[in-house]
Structure 1
């Protein structure tokens, strides 16, 4: 569990996916929330996976060696899985999910991967600064994985997400068009330099 020391007034913590916290995650999925901003149907898919084998589902969320199956794209295709893991936002209740992914030995990402970090807060917990706090807490973990910088992308119209990124040192580097398999729509790419951060303990 990671406490957010830089946000001492915040009750938020990042926790590893576990049986203890799974009921809250299931409840969020059942209310229609999805951890994947590009694929709303991912929430229903995860509910089905949980019903079949909860332990296997939880294990699939922490995959730093990319042993899992290919990842589904919005157009129905698949892409090779990158090393990565999810942490859950928790304030006594499930609040959202934040994910870190990377390629060993490089800061670069393949074109089909929109950023090192992705996050999604449940709507009923919005406005509490949780996305900002969760991103701040995850950045030292990115440094611990050997990254010098992280990229985060967001929709040009998503002002709230842009504010979260900028509040954590994000600098806009380009506007680009996503691959057709990812929707082919405009996207903003931000970078955050993490070289000055002390790596988090693994």
Structure 2
């Protein structure tokens, strides 16, 4: 399996949009994100692609699942590519510290299209993103996962993650139990 991380581009946008139309979402918390992104792509494809690389947090505020908004953190997305679109992985951080605001569940998020799950793509995508996280000067990254998401836990553990706590998500995310893992860089 050859899976690469690529910088989002207009050349690869049709594959991304096709995955959204087929029911995949890059946001594992806000399912309406797929519809919203398709609308943004239809209005301004170049602007949409540019918004996925925002290391200076110039984009607008972020809408949480409860509808509240919070300031955007610096971050960027990468797409997983094996000759076709496979999924996405993203990182966000707070300048000058590895700590994250309480409303941010983790540094890294990832989502693989359903038709390519179970093939190691998430494990590979996370492994490819970790050097980029290290280059940002982060000493570690944190990822959160629902207790019943064993596949995602295996992805994190395969990349050197260790469980650091069980906690309750902020009310904006429904207050459910979650697990926080840390990967030292």
- TM-score, scaled to structure 2: 0.99
Residue deviations 1:36-85 (CA, integer Å, cap 9, x gap): 00001000000000000001000100000000000111111111100000
1:77-105: CA deviations, max 9, x gaps?
11110000000000011000000110111
The residue that corresponds to 1:175 in the other structure is 166
Deviation per residue, 1:94-123 (Å, 9 max, x gap)? 000000110111110001001000000000
The correspondence of residues 60-75 of structure 1 with structure 2, limited to 5 A, is 60-75=51-66
Deviation at 1:163, TM superposition (A): 0.3
Partner-residue secondary structure (3-state), 1:181: helix
Is residue 77 of structure 2 the alignment partner of residue 95 of structure 1?
no
Instruction: Tell me which residue corresponds to 2:176.
Output: 185
Rounded to whole Å, the distance in 2 between the matches of 1:159 and 1:128 is 15
Deviation, structure 1 residue 11: 1.1
The 3-state SS of whatever aligns with 1:118 is strand
Gaps of 5+ in 1: 1-9, 195-202
Structure 1 residues 132-147: aligned runs within 5 Å: 132-147=123-138
TM-score of the superposition, structure 1-length normalised?
A: 0.91
Q: How is 1:29-178 mapped onto 2 (pairs within 5 angstroms)?
A: 29-178=20-169
Q: CA deviation at 1:182?
A: 1.2
Q: 1:145 & 1:85 partners in 2: Cα distance? A: 12
Supply the distance in 2 between the matched residues of 1:47 and 1:41 (Cα, whole angstroms).
Answer: 10
Matching residue of 2:3: 12
Task: Tell me by how many angstroms 1:184 deviates.
Answer: 1.0
Q: Secondary structure at the match of 2:124?
A: helix
Where 1:26 maps in the other structure, the secondary structure is helix
Number of residue pairs matched?
185
CA separation in 1, counterparts of 2:68 and 2:59?
16
1:24 aligns with 2:7: no
SS at match of 2:126: helix
Where in structure 1 do 4 or more consecutive aligned residues deviate above 3 Å? none
